[in-house]
Structure 1
Amino acid sequence: MSITIKSPSGREIKFSTGLFINNEFRPSKSNNVLTTPNPATGEDLATVSAATAEDVDDAVQAARRAFVTTWGKKSTPSQRSAALHKWADLIQENIDTLAELESLDNGKPVWMARDIDIVDSIDCLRYYAGLADKIEGRTIEQEEGRKIAFTRPEPIGVCGQIIPWNYPIQMFAWKVGAALAAGNTIIMKPAEQTPLSALVLAELSIKAGFPPGVINIVNGLGSVAGRAISSHMDIDKIAFTGSTITGRSIMESAAKSNLKKVTLELGGKSPVVVFENADIDQAVNWVSQGILFNHGQDCCAGSRLFLQESIKEEFLSKLKKNFESHVIGDPFDIKTYQGPQVSKQQQEKILSYIKSGIEQGATLLTGGEARIAHLSSKFKNGFYTPPTIFTDCKPGMKIVDEEIFGPVLTVQTFETEEEAIEKANNTPYGLGAGVFSQNASQCMRMVHALCAGTVWCNQYVALSNAVPFGGMKQSGFGRELGIEGLKEYTQTKSVHWNYGEKADWPVDGTSN
């Protein structure tokens, strides 16, 4: 049950294609499979096993055994830390292989996968390895010499984790790092569009020393494997990153099953506000990166730009040049900044939004088919879309109101700070927001006023494993990363301890 892929660099990448359950690769019990394409060419890349509800149940049973016998109830913090550190070391040793596989499966440039996504993932695992032995409760004094109370943070148990296709390795690390450090066991479902890198990570987890059942990988369709995870009666927590629509469905399934704990990191339509006193060149660079990084496939992408009217012409002139300077093409070319979208479906969705923007009266500043017409014949069937800027936008347009999840930026203007706040908050989402101003007081006022889980000042999409990340409103709830991310995988047990000679009050109907 293995396959060897030869990448454009000549590297041979060999990995198992089965479901990973109890530290073993095996086919689906129904022999179901799914095929993933290479987004750059449109050609089939690999076929892997696709889990059914029965396979998910097997994974849950393995995870429950491991939680009770070897990990959650039996392991020490130092053992969990050592395994996470070893896993991070092994990923580092295989970083080039993983980067090329990630690029082939997802479409992002190899350099981006290696130098940003995987480096950050390694650091994330090491960050939580360092926190594994720092999970602490507190003592609450009750009655001197007679009674004491204290709290114990304990692992939740078996955790289902469902990750998206835009950052396959990075989202994997964000989910498993905190969960494993706290002593939980996991059932991971990668996105059906990008199932491959998780299988290599699974092989490396065995070498890292994780006992059987601690980590289980069940590739498959969201409508089958994802639904089975969210509704399973013996899964104690669900962590999901993806669309708001799917998040609602997962929350409903979790409530109807066993009221399992849920954390959701969902969609976004993030505003970026640029004031006339901003450093224009700095803001242009960050605004461009905020929407074009990862091909615009980012939940917190800065997709709604608000410019103070007085700087509109200068800013847009420089922004247009910046957009048009980004190289689109071969993900294995070091000069490429934007590769293809992850799938044909995603490409068509983005192009339909561009068409609707034109039809609804927005002005196309840059973008269109001519921007990608230069692609060689090798990539003509790839899922490429043009970096696009629309001006003269207004609420009510689909490109303004709905999450596109692609390299499409909408531009509106404002006169006053109050108007900027009102327009920026005019969205059901609340994941990220950006402010560009050289006035510190103005930045702080905007930080307080903007409804978003993360606000960037004079930068954008810069993340840290030590800083919590998550949304407000319909962008979800709960936090990943930081100490807050670790706490999402623990539950507090309170202990009341009477160590005096007598009870505090009669418990058998007689007086003391």
Structure 2
Amino acid sequence: MDQISTRQSLPAEPRDFGFYVDGARVPAAERAVFIRHSPAHDVPVTRIPKCTEGDLDMAVDAARRAFDDRRWSGLSGQARAAVLLKAGALIRARAEEIAYWETLENGKPIAQARGEVLGCADMYEYASGLARSLHGDSFNNLGDGMMGLVTREPVGVVGIITPWNFPFLILCERVPYILASGCTIVVKPSEMTSATSLILAQILTEAGLPDGCMNVVTGSGSTIGQAMAEHPRIDMLSFTGSTAVGRRVVEAAGRSNFKKLGLELGGKNPQVVFADADLEDAADGVAFGIAFNTGQCCVSGSRLIVERSVADRFAEMVRDKLAKAVTGDPLDEATQIGAITTEAQNRTILSYIEKGKEEGARLICGGGALDMGQGQYIAPTIFGDVTAEMVIARDEIFGPVLTILPFDTLDEAIAIANDTDYGLAASVWTKDIDKALVVTRRVQAGRFWVNCTLAGGPELPLGGFKQSGWGREAGKYGVEEYTQIKSVHIEIGKRRPWIA
């Protein structure tokens, strides 16, 4: 597809998607459908089936057969790697198409969507090497009569439930690593943003993935998502979403088959800025950290913890940065901040902004909705004079709302950073390597950035501390997460009899 322009991009009618089972598209047929409207343009863009629990059973059965007959898990690492490499190449070839539908359904800027899609191709290419290097261990120290092996085996059928904020990226932080381990997959994307997950399933089939190894069932979290968490033939579930829903996933898994869980949940992530930092760089990074994806990002840097001696000046610098950011039509290449993805989230963010005003926080900039003529947009918002007890300082708002909390000492900065139920991500800005290392070691977060934020790649794992989740995705750890460890004892020579 040619590069999309604002004038010619909107579809004349919504694109029909089915769901995907056993290597083939299944049309909606008599099923009810969900019509997704672009949050930036208020026009219908996709039609997605509302699948039933019977449809989920069909997908799980396909994944179960594909796993049990070893059509994928029984292949060599080299054979799996070849499929993953081809998938990466096909994602690159279809990057404009994928970014286009991602932008229409999600509301994120097209330039951002394109960058995410190309980064996802990297993940398949990196995971292809992991498919070949995955290994266990051996123990040749058990004496002349015994040899010990530790093997890694794929866990089985994996369910994946993804949210609407990064539909393609979050899926691709999991799928290639899960496939590299030899597992088969059933995906339940958000009903708001299902298109790119369905396109990915087609791509994997074209890349040579055997039928049944990648299935996509569309529908709501309350029906299909809940049924996946409780499904007795799903061996492991990867869930990305809020901590509140994550608790329900844990409860549902416990009621069924005690399936293994990978959970990436909420965050209230600190950005700690010291007076000795490059303040221009830090201001740009803090602005990026709160406005990227309109703040609808679980690793968004929503708490600015700044040294008191520079706090007022730094707040002005961040405000000035955000004032220059381009908010508008996400199909415009120049746009940096797009639309809020769902009506419910739009209401939630605005309600938190009003709560901040009611709690007595000082509004530095933003503070409400933006009238762009169509769609739903919120101005990046900064609150000063925030105290740790305020709701806006404690709750995950999941929008472009930044709270500022000053500190005087390094120990105080660390205490404020850790004063949260979450532990997903954190950043520190300083030119003093000792400070950077102390903060990195003592702040409780699964991902950490020094003089940068929201950086990443396929090599490093993702995941949280505390109530931000369990397990790790991506990197070699993301492959190992989807394996079971088996100890094997091999006796050498004739057995010493127990009964003479």
TM-score for both structures, normalised by structure 2: 0.96
* Residue deviations 1:388-432 (CA, integer Å, cap 9, x gap): 000000122221110000000000111111111111111000001
Q: Which residue of 2 aligns with 1:282?
A: 281
Q: Deviations over 1:367-386 (max 9, x none)?
A: 034x734x2x3x2xx12111
Alpha-carbon distance between aligned partners in 2 of 1:108 and 1:338, rounded to the nearest angstrom = 7
In 2, are the aligned partners of 1:268 and 1:431 still within 8 Å (CA)?
yes
Mark the CA change 1:20 to 1:151 in structure 2 (over 3 Å): closer, same or farther.
Answer: same
Distance in 1 separating the partners of 2:9 and 2:359: 47
Taking the aligned partners of 1:12 and 1:290, their CA distance within structure 2 comes to 32
Shift of 1:477: 1.3
Could you say what secondary structure the match of 1:419 adopts?
A: helix
Q: Paired residue for 1:107?
A: 107
- Given the superposition, is the C-alpha separation of residues 30 and 475 from structure 1 closer, same or farther in structure 2, using an over 3 Å criterion? farther
Q: After TM superposition, give the deviation of residue 499 of structure 1 in Å.
A: 2.1
Once the two structures are superposed, the pairs formed by residues 262-411 of structure 1 within 5 Å of their partners are 262-369=261-368, 372-373=370-371, 375=372, 377=373, 379=374, 382-411=375-404
**Aligned-partner SS, 1:355:** helix
- Distance in 1 between the 2:15 and 2:46 partners? 11
* 1:49-448 equivalences in 2 (<5 Å): 49-115=49-115, 117-369=116-368, 372-373=370-371, 375=372, 377=373, 379=374, 382-448=375-441
Q: Which amino acid aligns with 1:403?
A: E
Deviation string 1:43-63 (CA, Å, 9 cap, x unpaired) is 322211122211111111100
The CA distance in 1 between the partners of 2:121 and 2:262, in whole Å, is: 23
User: Aligned Cα RMSD in Å?
Assistant: 1.8
Distance 1:20 1:101 in 2: 17
Alignment partners' CA distance in 2, 1:492 and 1:70: 18
User: In structure 2, the residue corresponding to 1:132 is in which secondary structure?
Assistant: helix
CA distance in 2, matches of 1:368, 1:11: 30
How far did residue 333 of structure 1 move?
1.1
Offset of 1:349 from its aligned partner?
0.8
Q: Which amino acid aligns with 1:195?
A: S
- Residue 313 of structure 1 deviates from its aligned partner by 2.1
2 CA distance for matches of 1:7 and 1:291? 26
User: Does the C-alpha gap of structure 1 residues 110 and 73 become closer, same or farther in structure 2, counting only changes over 3 Å?
Assistant: closer
Q: CA deviation at 1:253?
A: 0.8
Q: 1:70, CA displacement in angstroms?
A: 4.3
Q: CA deviation at 1:210?
A: 1.1
Cα contact 1:160–1:229 (8 A) shared by 2: yes
Which runs of at least 4 in structure 1 moved beyond 6 Å after TM superposition?
11-15
SS across alignment from 2:20: strand
* Structure 1 Cα separation of the partners of residues 73 and 310 of structure 2: 60
CA contact (8 A) 1:356 1:398 kept: yes
Q: Which runs of 5+ in 2 are unaligned?
A: none
By how many angstroms is 1:88 displaced? 1.1
Compute the displacement of 1:79 (Å). 1.4
**More deviation in 131-140 or 18-27?**
18-27
Superposition deviation, residue 30 in structure 1: 6.6
Question: Paired residue for 1:43?
Answer: 43
The superposition leaves residues 491-510 of structure 1 with CA deviations (integer Å, 9 ceiling, x where unpaired) of 1111101121123x51xxx2
For residues 159 and 199 of structure 1, the distance between their equivalents in structure 2, rounded to whole angstroms, comes to 17
Q: Which stretch shows the higher mean deviation, 170-179 or 64-73?
A: 64-73
1:462 counterpart (451, 455, 458): 455
Q: TM-score scaled to structure 1, two decimals?
A: 0.94
1:124–1:177 Cα contact (<8 Å) kept: yes
1:453-480 per-position Cα deviation (integer Å, ceiling 9, x unaligned): 1121111111121011110000001011
| CA deviation profile, 1:126-174 (whole Å, cap 9, x unmatched) | 1101110111111112544321010110000000001111111111111
User: Are residues 494 and 219 of structure 1, via their aligned partners in 2, closer, same or farther at CA, if it must alter by over 3 Å?
Assistant: same
Match of 1:19 in 2: 19
Deviation at 1:209, TM superposition (A): 1.0
SS across alignment from 1:317: helix
